């Protein structure tokens, strides 16, 4: 049993350390009071930094079990458990708050003090006034901390002073005051709406920004932002449109005003109006036709925004497919990209754009962004693009063939009709294309397994290799193919280059690892013992021994024109 500590004198020392120090009672200070490590830990948990200061019944019991007597416990807590807290509150109120702007206090400590004062019920007008005075401190960290502390300590009371801080010349303080008003939320809304009437356009801009960030939206916010769409300053107008866009579908009552604002003479205003319409959605039947018109604007930024907005509508923007297809040939890459992506988001309804998207792939070699966007568009259209993509696997341009394979893989199981054509690409001998086709077949899934098993017997060793790669990418789904994979090693490779056979074996080994999950495969060392002459009929064939132990069974294979020590797969126990 620990030695009992029942000293009221020690209790006074503890209270002094806890109540009269910005950090509260630290564990090291507890040890300095000649307490054991366990006692120091228990006491600092009860009265350390961040602790509430009021001794709960559970904390009293824990102190007692650590060796503290009732006299000590009552000395630090008093009869109601509040003594240490009361002492700290008095010190904070008398010593710290009037000197918030002292440089020996860290800014974060000031915020911590504010939170403690709030929890202690000490948010008096005098303390608020002192914090407001700190907003004028020459040290910017103190100003920022005071703004945050005001917002946390007394939100409703702090709003007028934070609004006043927005009028100052200190950019940093204005930024922190704005953030604090946003954090305060709804209690700040009436003052911010009133600020929209201010003669200073800077104040109106800040008010709009803050209103757009406050959520959930109240009934008065959106009407105030709608009114700001007619502000005499273009920066305020586009800020209003941007704020409405941030609010999203909850601001659908703003759609008529936004449609009217599409005629604004300022390009930036029209840009954010279009983005806002996209964020809200096709709330009225006039929205899509209006954006189709915007898609043909002379300004590339407007066309880009219109394509983005239409894409957000999905199938509801099907009437825009024709114009979006035309924009795949826009002179600006950002417009081409957003048009392709929008067509994909419209989905199967954009079927008529398939040929144009595939044509865009012809230029993908020179325009990677446009190429990726075209693939994304085709994938979004889905099964309707499979036939055309399958045809492109025979395109004279290997880059287009690879893009078609990638798109088919992303379409997934619905592209299973492309399986024979994907396998046929392996005879081309282009590594990137071959790997793209293998990955596509794996993504299409188990429906490809019968064709891949047949491919393991193909006359071309490269086809066998990539069939193994595709099966390996399927992982455990292809476990039934393990016998077929291992049997591939049993084939006659007389006359085949040693390097080609070794490469195929390595890929089969890797496939088996992936199919069997956590299996480990040892390295294979292969050396040719064939002596090839000009007359391949005189090849001296040697043996290949492979022993594979898997969860599905054990296989011994002999064949080939090279000798391998072994493949040994062991599943960890």
pLDDT tens digit sequence for 140-190: 777 777 777 777 777 777 788 888 888 888 787 788 788 888 888 888 999
Cα separation values, 70 from 4, 25, 46, 88, 370, Å:
10, 20, 15, 22, 77
Task: Please say if the pLDDT value at position 292 is more than 90.
Answer: yes
Judge residue 170's burial from the number of C-beta atoms within 10 Å of its C-beta, 0-12 exposed, 13-18 middle, 19 or more buried: middle
Q: What would the mean pLDDT of 73-89 be, rounded to a whole number?
A: 69
Do β-strands 562-564 and 569-570 pair in parallel, antiparallel, or remain unpaired? unpaired
What is the architecture, at CATH level 2, of domain 318-437?
A: Alpha Horseshoe (1.25)
Phi/psi at 87 (5° precision): -65, -40
In this structure, are residues 139 and 148 in contact, taking their beta carbons and an 8 Å threshold? Answer: no
Residue 180: count other Cβ atoms within 10 Å of its Cβ: 24
Task: Please say if the pLDDT value at position 557 is more than 70.
Answer: no
State the helix-helix crossing angle for 155-166 and 125-134, rounded to 10 degrees. 30
Strand partners, 563: 527
Q: To which residue do tokens 């702007």 refer? A: 101
Closest to 475 in 3D by CA, of 448, 509, 446, 514: 514
pLDDT band for position 530 (cuts 50, 70, 90): very low
pLDDT band for position 567 (cuts 50, 70, 90): very low
Distance CA 303, CA 333 (A): 11
Task: Please say if the pLDDT value at position 212 is more than 80.
Answer: yes
Q: What is the CA radius of gyration of the chain?
A: 37
In this structure, are residues 135 and 148 in contact, taking their beta carbons and an 8 Å threshold? Answer: no
pLDDT band for position 90 (cuts 50, 70, 90): low
Helix (H), strand (E), coil (C) string for 364-411: CCCCHHHHHHHHHHHHHHHHHHHHHHHHHCCCCCHHHHHHHHHHHHHH
Q: Indicate yes or no: pTM above 0.85.
A: no
Distance CA 301, CA 238 (A): 14
Distance CA 429, CA 421 (A): 15
Q: What would the mean pLDDT of 259-267 be, rounded to a whole number?
A: 95
Q: What would the mean pLDDT of 263-286 be, rounded to a whole number?
A: 94
pLDDT band for position 242 (cuts 50, 70, 90): very high
Task: Please say if the pLDDT value at position 565 is more than 90.
Answer: no
Q: Which CATH number fits domain 185-284: 2.60.40.1930, 1.10.3720.10, 1.25.10.10, 3.40.640.10?
A: 1.25.10.10
Distance CA 264, CA 262 (A): 6
pLDDT tens readout for residues 38-66: 888 888 777 765 555 567 788 888 888 88
Could you give the residue range(s) of every CATH 1.25.10.10 domain in the chain? 185-284, 318-437
Q: Which of 4-13, 308-317, 494-503, 506-515 has the highest mean pLDDT?
A: 308-317
Mean pLDDT of the chain: 79
Q: What would the mean pLDDT of 273-283 be, rounded to a whole number?
A: 93
In this structure, are residues 220 and 193 in contact, taking their beta carbons and an 8 Å threshold? Answer: yes
> Which tokens go with 143?
């100003």
Task: Please say if the pLDDT value at position 83 is more than 90.
Answer: no
Residues 6 or more apart whose CB falls under 8 angstroms from that of 430 comprise: 398, 401, 402
pLDDT band for position 288 (cuts 50, 70, 90): very high
pLDDT band for position 494 (cuts 50, 70, 90): low
Classify residue 5 by its DSSP letter. Answer: B
Classify residue 527 by its DSSP letter. Answer: E
């Amino acid at each position: 049993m620990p030695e009992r500590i029942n000293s009221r004198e020690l209790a006074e020392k503890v209270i002094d350390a806890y109540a009269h120090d910005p950090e509260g009672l630290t564990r090291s200070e507890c040890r300095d009071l000649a307490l054991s490590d366990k006692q120091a830990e228990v006491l600092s948990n009860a009265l350390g930094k961040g602790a509430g200061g009021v001794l709960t019944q559970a904390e009293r019991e824990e102190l007692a079990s650590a060796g503290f007597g009732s006299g000590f416990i009552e000395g630090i807590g008093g009869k109601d458990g509040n003594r240490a807290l009361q002492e700290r509150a008095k010190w904070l109120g008398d010593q710290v708050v009037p000197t918030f702007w002292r440089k020996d206090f860290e800014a974060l400590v000031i915020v911590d003090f504010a939170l403690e004062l709030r929890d202690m019920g000490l948010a008096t007008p005098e303390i608020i006034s002192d914090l407001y005075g700190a907003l004028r401190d020459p040290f910017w960290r103190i100003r920022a901390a005071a703004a945050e502390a005001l917002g946390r300590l007394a939100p409703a009371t702090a709003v007028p002073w934070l609004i006043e801080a927005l009028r100052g010349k200190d950019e940093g303080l204005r930024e922190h005051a704005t953030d604090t008003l946003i954090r305060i939320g709804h209690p700040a809304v009436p003052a911010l709406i009133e600020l929209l009437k201010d003669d200073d356009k800077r104040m109106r801009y800040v008010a709009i920004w803050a209103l757009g960030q406050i959520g959930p939206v109240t009934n008065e916010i959106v009407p105030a932002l709608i009114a700001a769409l007619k502000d005499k300053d273009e920066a305020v107008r586009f800020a209003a449109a941007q704020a409405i866009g941030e609010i999203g579908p909850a601001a659908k009552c703003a759609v008529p005003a936004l449609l009217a604002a599409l005629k604004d003479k300022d390009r930036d205003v029209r840009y954010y109006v279009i983005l806002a319409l996209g964020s809200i959605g096709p709330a009225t039947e006039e929205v899509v036709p209006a954006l189709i018109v915007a898609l043909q604007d002379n300004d590339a930024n407007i066309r880009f925004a219109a394509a983005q907005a239409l894409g957000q509508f999905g199938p509801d923007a099907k009437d825009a497919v024709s114009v979006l297809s035309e924009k795949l040939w826009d002179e600006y890459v950002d417009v081409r990209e957003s048009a392709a992506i929008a067509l994909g988001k419209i989905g199967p309804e954009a079927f008529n754009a398939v040929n144009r998207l595939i044509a865009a792939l012809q230029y993908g070699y020179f325009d990677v962004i446009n190429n990726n966007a075209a693939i994304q568009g085709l994938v979004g259209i889905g099964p309707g693009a499979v036939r055309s993509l399958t045809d492109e696997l025979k395109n004279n341009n290997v880059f287009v063939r690879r893009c078609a394979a990638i798109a088919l893989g992303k379409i997934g199981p619905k592209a299973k009709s492309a399986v024979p054509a994907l396998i046929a690409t392996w005879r081309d001998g282009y590594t990137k294309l071959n790997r793209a086709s293998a990955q596509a077949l794996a993504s299409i899934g188990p429906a490809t397994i019968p064709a891949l098993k047949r491919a393991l017997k193909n006359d071309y060793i490269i086809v066998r290799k990539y069939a193994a790669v595709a099966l390996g990418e399927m992982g455990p789904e292809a476990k039934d193919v393990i016998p077929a994979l291992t049997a591939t090693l049993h084939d006659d490779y007389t006359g085949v280059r040693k390097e080609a056979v070794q490469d195929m074996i390595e890929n089969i080994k890797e496939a088996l690892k992936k199919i069997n999950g956590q299996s480990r495969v040892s390295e294979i060392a292969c050396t040719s013992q064939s002596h090839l002459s000009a007359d391949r009929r005189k090849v001296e064939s040697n043996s290949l021994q492979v022993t594979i132990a898997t969860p599905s069974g054990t296989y011994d294979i002999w064949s080939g024109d090279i000798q391998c020590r072994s493949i040994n797969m062991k599943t960890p126990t």
